[in-house]
Structure 1
Amino acid sequence: MVRLLRPFGRAVTYTRWLHLFIAVVAPSLLLFVREEWWIWLIAAAALGLAGLVPAMRTVEGLQARLLLTGHRHDSESTGIVAAPSASWGDRGRLVVWLEARLLLGCVTLALCAQLVFATVDLAAAPFGHGSGDRGPLVLDGHAWWHVLLVPLFLLALGATVLVTGHLITALALRLLGPSPAERMAALEERTEQLLERTRIARELHDSIGHALTVAVVQAGAARAAGDPAFTDRALSAIEETGRAALEDLERVLGVLRESERPAGSRPTLTDADRLLESARASGTKVDAEMTGPLDTVPGPVSREGYRILQESLTNVLRHAGPVPARVRIAVAAGTLTLDVRNPLTAGTAGPGRGSGLRGIRERAALLGGHARTGPAEGDWQVHVELPVS
């Protein structure tokens, strides 16, 4: 019993009922002036023309959200679009919605009115009151047992309110919901958001991971060396790397705080010398060779190439220590090639392991290139090729 009565304690049950009646207010008022059947045809034609106005979809969407869902942030509320019609398909669905709402409103109004009149007449029947001329649902006569039918008619009235309310809400979700183009746009926006989060996570991993690795290696080397001059150089390297990491962190946090705020300049391969010097300051002897016009590499490719190089050098420091490393960066024949090698040691990660190596392969794949990581001729190699044209 409680479950049956629970819907009648919700405000949205009655706002849905109100939403249906709003559609028939104007025709009903005209009927009081002149009771002609063609008034409904005029109302239907007027609504059909109104449905062709793009802004009408916004009005109907907002009204449906407010009265049919109670502004809840659930699938019902988000499934109703409150935006102007963008295509003739949207206009057509809006016209069907307006006509269906008018028809369902008429049926609901007539049925509820008859049920209310019948209930009143049945309740007054034992006292000799009531009349039998208000419609087909009213019983003739004034028999005492008519009052026993009052609960049945009240139940029918409640069922009418609930069923028509659910029906108009289902129609709104179908006819005022997003079009295929709007669903595709929302899906693309969601995909872009997920890709942006993934990119930010990768950047934080690469930048902060590189800075911490350099700091750990430098601090350990300075302690082992016991040389004040070397310690001073190590602290300078830690300071420079930490400052760069803080700049990256501040930029990423700015993007997270304000989605519309420009992300600012991100480092590209033209800034690769900073990475090489940081690695050299950590005790790694880096033999670097850069060929080709790096400044002509497209921004997205150059920025991702910088992060790939950063992660590769971080892996050298983290897993192999201060060992010699060879870096080759070349731009030729429409391809950017990055190749980083270092002697294979016992601490080097195995092929395919680690989030850093996985991130390198994912970055390359997103740009239409490919990456190969693993042992090669006694060395550990990271070889990446990215298209630049």
Structure 2
Amino acid sequence: MVRLLSPLTRGTTYTRLLHLWVPMLLVSVWLYVFPGQPWGPAVPLIPLGLIPAVRLGEGVQAQLLLTPGEQDPGFSVRPSATWRDRFRTVLWLEARMALGALAVFSTVWFPILTYDLTAAAFGHAVTDNPVMSIAHPHWAYGFLAPLPLIAMYASVVGLGELVTAVARRLLGPSAAERVAALEERTEQLLERTRIARELHDSIGHALTVAVVQAGAARAAGDPAFTDRALLAIEDTGRAALEDLERVLAVLRESRRPASGRPTLVEADRLMESARVSGAKIDAELTGPLENVPGPVSREGYRILQESLTNVLRHAGSVPVRIRIAVDDRTLCLEVRNPLTAEIPGPGRGSGLRGIRERAALLGGSARTGPDDGDWQVHVELPLR
């Protein structure tokens, strides 16, 4: 019994009834003006449903009134993008009006029937009810009085469930909308991965430089060297803070495009940071770096940053050869340093995996691992 009566305590039951009643308010005005044309309000719904924005409004109404509080009710909240969506919207409007008419009938006439049956039980004849006429009152009609109220309760709950099911069918996302939503979700996941990679490369590089410089300054015991080390830590930390603030701004405003990311034109800053940290940099840059497309140049910068970070972290103060070459079709970036036992083998480490992922995302290739006595990072990125 408690389960049967539980819909009475749910707010959804009443919001669904309100959803069915809303279009009937306009219908009642129509019937007052044109009482002989009950079918008239259904005709304007056809051109109305073909308006793309109507689908958006109906989807929002359905979310608020048919499924209040649900996280993913399954309704489309976008304007109609295709003629199929428009025709589905027309069907929905007609179905909503038909179900609304049933809801109005049950909530208006069933209580009237209960009243008339109660009146007949007390000896009053019922002659003005178009649904039911009782010429001979009898006390036994009192046993029938609750039945219309039970029928009204069942119809209100049942029509609420039915209109929700119909709405999910006709206002649910089309195949094109599902694909668009999937693509948007994929873009969000890719953006999250990119942001995580950016933080790993930028903050990891800054911390590595700070640790190496602090250790070297403590070991050297030279005030002048300590000043240079602190300056390098300050510069690297400031750059890392700029990267962090930029990434946090993107996270706060998810639709704001990322801007201000460093490119290979600023590679000298990375090399100078590595030099101050003790690495012996031998760099050779050939070709116009400023002509490298933005996405390629930005990813190339991060690849170089992660490569130098790995050198400082695992090899320390060793000679490093950097070759960056740009031609009409390809950006070639190579970082080599003497192989040490501390450098991880191929396939391990999130930094190396990030280098390969960055290259693959741009349609390029990356090789990392031992090569002729050196540890090598060799990346080729297409410019087109």
Using the size of structure 2 for normalisation, the TM-score is 0.90
Map 1:359-370; keep pairs closer than 5 Å: 359-370=354-365
By how many angstroms is 1:154 displaced? Answer: 2.6
Map 1:1-389; keep pairs closer than 5 Å: 1-31=1-31, 35-36=35-36, 39-70=37-68, 72-76=69-73, 79-129=74-124, 131=126, 134=129, 141-261=136-256, 263-332=258-327, 334-389=329-384
Q: 1:35 to 1:264 in 2, by over 3 A?
A: closer
By how many angstroms is 1:97 displaced? Answer: 0.9
Q: State the distance in 2 between where 1:361 and 1:138 align.
A: 84
Contact 1:117/1:138 (CA < 8 Å) preserved in 2?
no
Structure 1 range deviating more: 186-195 or 207-216: 186-195
Find the residue that maps to 2:348 and give its secondary structure: coil
Find the residue that maps to 2:302 and give its secondary structure: helix
Q: State the distance in 1 between where 2:257 and 2:105 align.
A: 58
Indicate the percent of aligned positions where both proteins have the same amino acid: 66
Q: State the distance in 2 between where 1:139 and 1:65 align.
A: 44
Contact 1:132/1:141 (CA < 8 Å) preserved in 2?
no
Query: Aligned pairs, how many?
Result: 384
Unmatched runs of 5 consecutive residues or more in structure 2: none
Q: State the distance in 2 between where 1:320 and 1:10 align.
A: 66
Unmatched runs of 5 consecutive residues or more in structure 1: none
Amino acid at match of 1:205: H
Find the residue that maps to 2:324 and give its secondary structure: strand
Q: State the distance in 2 between where 1:316 and 1:123 align.
A: 92
Q: 1:290 to 1:100 in 2, by over 3 A?
A: same
Contact 1:118/1:139 (CA < 8 Å) preserved in 2?
no
Find the residue that maps to 1:144 and give its secondary structure: coil
1:317-341 CA distances to partner (integer Å, 9 max, x unpaired)? 1011111121111123512111111
1:241-280 CA distances to partner (integer Å, 9 max, x unpaired)? 1222122122222222334556432111111111111111
Q: State the distance in 2 between where 1:159 and 1:138 align.
A: 24
